[in-house]
């Protein structure tokens, strides 16, 4: 039971307000009016006692209503017994004034809250940034409070001509809301500030939601669509395997909501402190954070894609990955020697698995120390990496943030140089903070917010890269993870705040730093969630300068805006069918968060996988944007070649399709980098007008044109696949399916992941190959899949795959097809294609001739049974080429 220890039966009568008393500069709250209390619906109760062990006496001392479970209410443990009465005075608006591009107002607190150090006078600043983006910032005008320095917001000066919204203050001055002008939908509704609290270490506000179709708010293991049935999400970066109701590696306080009209909006809270988010059936969302300020950005859409673009205009658009990073990656914790690394790679290459990137976990290190390698077990590592490069392959290593703090002076450059530059995190006494991760004795941690951190980190990366020329950095354990406190943590309000979020652990410092640890940008209590993104920012920039190429970073810890620095993986997932399924909403959440380069450890990380599970996971993992097979130490080998002939056959089939689709996938990443579009896309983002898509998180799209429907259970004869309204083509048979928005029974076999091409699109593809370099060098092949009106369009982006300055030297082709004609336009750059081919689907009439511009073209094949037309050896020599067929 959330708030009560046992059930009681109480007869309530209406109470008159007791005379409030003065306490600490504010009046103590009056007694609750139980006439008003009875008017509150069960689902609308706002919890007035979120701590444990609620009771009537302490509840009413807060001026709140107490109604325990009884025969009328039912014993529903999620419903709070202690709740705010409606229009309970908290803050009241004063001194409201219009300013250029917005409104400013002062709010005064009426009565003392339960939490210490209320801010009695606060200031609300509503800034109209653009016609579709509004910021609502609530600050303490008398004292500078901590404000997060990530994401790195760089918006142009506010400018509005015809805003889509109205900011309205309630007539009774006890609330506000933001309305969508077109239909008066309240996209942020805090019109009743009964539970609004703004104290030193506890900030709380509730917004009513216009529908239950809400997504985002991570990182947690959960379904894509959030439950509003009294669910709670806790955001506090934490080293824990993904499990239900546990805060894990990242913090992204952003949600996307589809309204009943199918319009969409989004809300982002720019706050890096630990927080709980409570969804209840009103529906409403309550924010509780233990520090910082309230700084909301509201995005008006009106489509889901519009919302995500607007959000990324604030937090930054995703980094363009190097082309090679879209190949298949192979890793394992427990490959304890270079010889074993070579053997694992060789058996997969010999089996026909197109491995692009070989990784090593911490096994390669000397005594678990970063920027070292074991000269015995990994003797010859530099030469091995150079040989990979000669093969057209790449190499990525693990680089944890912690380094040994127990080396003798003059024996460890990373430690000595860090002391010299004063870049290590300090404890509350100002000495270097000492913890324990992998190092045998003790660990110290760079403070990536320190002005000298970039110089230090780049220097360490460069010196090691000069020895082992690695191509990418895997930054792990950076929540930050820490297992011991040799010198303890002093007790303070930072270690034991008056409100304790529902985190995994007994203390905020569980498996991490003391909250009193000191970093350049503030105490760890405030900047904890920013450790990983601070490291990623510096690592990404440093690696680009070292390589003189686009950097490749995969980080476990993330925060809002992380996507502009690198990619993410799903962490220590378990090898179960459930986790296979949950990996899809996990992937799609990060699409909403602006981190498209994402995927979970294929076949699972924890526990032993098995052939059937790994078979299906390899099929799905071939369509993760970041595709890596990886598992833990002391488990069975689960690389594809180790799992038997079935997994090998299935993996080759799925990965060959992936590699052939890399021109399309790379184009999607460019569109994400340029415009903030999604790569792995939830169906509800693409089809918001179709309510049947709102709950779907077992299939997903690449862009608009390819639907991936993985098999998520052991050996079914068929699966049900929902296809939104339109024409869809079976990827394998090329058969056209006309859907009215319905589910289809799709037969399955062990070798195949069901895929569907959406009518209306042109997809650029290449040849299946062993490396991404070979794909890039293969002729371009267009798949033209017309819609019911015979139309299709698409684009193809190509550059050198590694240049840091994306969008300077590139080729962009545009394709438009309509009823027997395909127009290919070079809209940017010079055509670097020798030739291309086009496969047109759904061709109903016999084709007897093909013309390229005004010249007959002989190299074509019409397949009457499949209703396809293949036109080969097309030479694109001018800015616009038109192909016609009759």
Burial string for 107-138 (b: 16+ CB within 10 Å, else e) reads bebbbbbbbeebbbbbbbbbbbbbebbbbbbb
Helix, strand, or coil (residue 180): strand
Name the nearest CA neighbour of 719 among 696, 740, 690. Answer: 696
CA separation for the pair 839, 425 (Å, rounded): 59
CA separation for the pair 392, 162 (Å, rounded): 53
Instruction: Output the six-digit token pair for 163.
Output: 């805003």
Instruction: Output the six-digit token pair for 314.
Output: 């604030």
Q: Which of 232, 356, 363, 476 is catalytic?
A: 476
- Within 8 A by CB and 6+ apart from 596, the residues are 318, 563, 567, 590, 625, 668, 669, 672, 678, 679, 680
Q: Which of 47, 192, 295, 479 is catalytic?
A: 479
* Rounded-to-10 torsion of CA 560, 561, 563, 564: -170
CA separation for the pair 397, 385 (Å, rounded): 11
Give the number of C-alpha atoms closer than 13 A to the C-alpha of residue 686, restricted to the C-beta side: 24
Instruction: Output the six-digit token pair for 546.
Output: 């070292």
**726 vs 699, 757, 785, CA distance in Å?**
17, 11, 12
- Within 8 A by CB and 6+ apart from 140, the residues are 119, 121, 122, 123, 198, 293
Name the nearest CA neighbour of 314 among 531, 156, 146, 536. Answer: 156
Instruction: Output the six-digit token pair for 57.
Output: 């006496």
Our answer to whether residue 229 is catalytic in this structure is: no
Helix, strand, or coil (residue 296): strand
Instruction: Output the six-digit token pair for 402.
Output: 């912690």
- Within 8 A by CB and 6+ apart from 114, the residues are 62
In this structure, are strands 700-702 and 567-569 parallel, antiparallel, or unpaired?
unpaired
The residue length of the chain stands at 886
Q: What angle do CA 148, 149, 153 make, to 5 degrees?
A: 110
Helix, strand, or coil (residue 342): helix
Instruction: Output the six-digit token pair for 475.
Output: 């930054």
Helix, strand, or coil (residue 269): strand
**66 vs 8, 21, 51, 83, CA distance in Å?**
11, 21, 15, 7
CA separation for the pair 655, 623 (Å, rounded): 8
CA separation for the pair 854, 858 (Å, rounded): 13
Q: What angle do CA 672, 677, 682 make, to 5 degrees?
A: 125
- Within 8 A by CB and 6+ apart from 785, the residues are 705, 727, 729, 757, 758, 759, 760, 761, 762, 763, 792, 841, 842
How far from chain centre, in Å, is Cα 598? 8
Q: Confirm if 709 and 716 have CB atoms less than 8 A apart.
A: no
Q: How many CB atoms lie within 10 A of CB 872?
A: 16
Rounded-to-5 percentages of helix, strand, coil across the chain: 20, 30, 50
CA separation for the pair 555, 553 (Å, rounded): 6
CA separation for the pair 38, 40 (Å, rounded): 6
- Within 8 A by CB and 6+ apart from 551, the residues are 319, 322, 472, 473, 539, 540, 541, 542, 543, 544, 566
CA separation for the pair 251, 570 (Å, rounded): 14
Our answer to whether residue 44 is catalytic in this structure is: no
How buried is residue 830: exposed, middle or buried, by Cβ count under 10 Å (0-12/13-18/19+)?
A: exposed
How buried is residue 764: exposed, middle or buried, by Cβ count under 10 Å (0-12/13-18/19+)?
A: buried
**Residues labelled as active-site residues:** 476, 479
């Amino acid at each position: 039971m959330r708030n009560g220890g046992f059930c009681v039966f109480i007869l309530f009568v209406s109470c008159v307000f007791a005379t409030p008393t003065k306490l600490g500069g504010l009046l103590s709250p009056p007694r609750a009016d139980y006439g008003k209390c009875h008017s509150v619906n069960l689902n609308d109760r706002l919890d007035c006692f979120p701590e444990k062990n609620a009771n009537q006496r302490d509840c009413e001392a807060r001026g709140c209503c107490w109604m325990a479970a009884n025969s009328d209410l039912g014993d529903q443990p999620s419903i709070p017994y202690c709740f705010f009465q409606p229009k309970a005075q908290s803050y009241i608006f004063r001194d409201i004034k219009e300013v250029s591009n917005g409104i400013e107002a002062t709010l005064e607190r009426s009565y003392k809250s339960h939490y210490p150090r209320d801010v009695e006078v606060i200031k609300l600043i509503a800034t109209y940034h653009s016609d579709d983006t509004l910021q609502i910032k609530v600050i303490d005008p008398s004292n500078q409070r901590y404000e997060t320095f990530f994401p790195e917001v760089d918006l142009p000066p506010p400018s509005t001509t015809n805003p889509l919204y109205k900011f309205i203050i309630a007539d009774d001055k006890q609330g506000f809301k933001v309305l969508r002008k077109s239909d008066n939908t309240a996209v942020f509704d805090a019109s009743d500030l009964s539970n609004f609290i703004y104290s030193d270490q506890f900030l709380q506000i509730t917004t009513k939601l216009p529908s239950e179709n809400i997504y985002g708010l991570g990182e947690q293991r959960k379904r894509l669509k959030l439950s509003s049935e009294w669910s709670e999400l806790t955001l506090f970066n934490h080293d824990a395997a993904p499990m239900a109701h546990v805060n894990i590696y990242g913090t992204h306080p952003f949600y996307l909501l589809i309204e009943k009209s199918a319009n969409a909006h989004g809300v982002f809270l720019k706050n890096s402190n630990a927080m709980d988010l409570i969804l209840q059936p009103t529906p409403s969302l309550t924010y509780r954070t233990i520090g910082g300020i309230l700084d909301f950005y509201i995005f008006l859409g009106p489509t889901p894609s519009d919302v995500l673009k607007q959000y990324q205009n604030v937090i930054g658009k995703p980094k363009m990955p190097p082309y090679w990073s879209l190949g298949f990656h192979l890793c394992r914790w427990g490959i304890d020697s270079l010889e074993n690394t070579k053997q694992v790679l060789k058996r997969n290459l010999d089996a026909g698995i197109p491995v692009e990137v070989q990784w090593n976990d911490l096994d390669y290190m000397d005594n678990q120390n970063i920027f070292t390698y074991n000269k015995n077990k990994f003797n010859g590592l530099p030469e091995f990496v150079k040989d990979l490069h000669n093969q057209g392959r790449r190499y990525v290593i693990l680089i944890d943030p912690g380094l040994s703090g127990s080396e003798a002076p003059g024996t460890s450059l990373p430690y000595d140089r860090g002391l010299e530059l004063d870049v290590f995190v300090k404890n509350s006494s100002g000495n270097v903070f000492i913890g324990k991760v992998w190092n045998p004795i003790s660990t110290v941690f760079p403070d990536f917010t320190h002005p000298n951190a970039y110089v230090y980190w780049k220097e360490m990366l460069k010196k090691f890269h000069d020895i082992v020329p690695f191509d990418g950095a895997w930054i792990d354990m950076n929540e930050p993870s820490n297992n011991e406190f040799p010198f303890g943590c002093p007790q303070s309000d930072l270690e034991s705040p008056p409100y304790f979020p529902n985190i995994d652990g007994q203390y905020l410092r569980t498996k991490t730093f003391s909250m009193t640890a000191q970093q350049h940008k503030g105490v760890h209590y405030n900047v904890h969630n920013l450790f990983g993104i601070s490291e990623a920012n510096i690592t990404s920039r440093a690696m680009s300068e070292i390589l003189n190429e686009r950097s490749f970073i995969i980080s476990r810890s993330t925060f809002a805006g992380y996507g502009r620095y690198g990619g993410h993986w799903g962490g220590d997932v378990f090898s179960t069918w459930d986790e296979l399924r949950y990996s899809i909403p996990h992937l799609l959440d990060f699409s909403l968060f602006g981190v498209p380069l994402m995927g979970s450890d294929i076949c699972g990380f924890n526990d032993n996988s098995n052939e059937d599970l790994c078979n299906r996971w390899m099929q799905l993992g071939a369509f993760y944007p970041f595709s890596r097979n990886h598992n833990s130490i002391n488990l069975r080998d689960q690389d594809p070649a180790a799992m038997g002939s079935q997994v090998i056959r299935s993996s080759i089939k799925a990965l060959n399709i992936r590699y052939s689709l890399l021109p399309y996938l790379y184009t999607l990443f460019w569109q994400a980098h340029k415009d903030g579009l999604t790569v792995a896309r939830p169906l509800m983002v693409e089809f918001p007008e179709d309510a049947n898509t709102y709950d779907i998180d077992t299939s997903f799209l690449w862009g608009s044109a390819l639907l991936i429907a993985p098999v998520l259970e052991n050996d079914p004869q068929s699966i049900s696949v929902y296809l939104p309204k339109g024409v869809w083509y079976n990827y394998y048979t090329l058969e056209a399916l006309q859907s009215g928005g319905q589910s289809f029974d799709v037969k399955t076999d062990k070798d195949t992941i069901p895929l569907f091409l959406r009518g209306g699109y042109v997809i650029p593809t290449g040849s299946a190959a062993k490396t991404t370099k070979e794909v890039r060098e293969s002729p371009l092949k267009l798949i033209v899949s017309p819609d019911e009106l015979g139309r299709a369009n698409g684009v193809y982006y190509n550059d050198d795959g590694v240049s840091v300055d994306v969008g300077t030297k590139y080729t962009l082709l545009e394709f438009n097809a309509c009823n027997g004609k395909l127009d290919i336009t070079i809209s940017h750059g010079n055509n670097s294609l020798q030739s291309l081919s086009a496969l047109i689907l759904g061709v109903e009439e016999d084709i007897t001739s093909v013309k390229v511009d005004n010249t007959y073209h002989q190299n074509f094949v019409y397949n009457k049974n499949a209703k396809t037309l293949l036109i080969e050896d097309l030479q694109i020599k001018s800015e616009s080429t038109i192909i016609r067929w009759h």
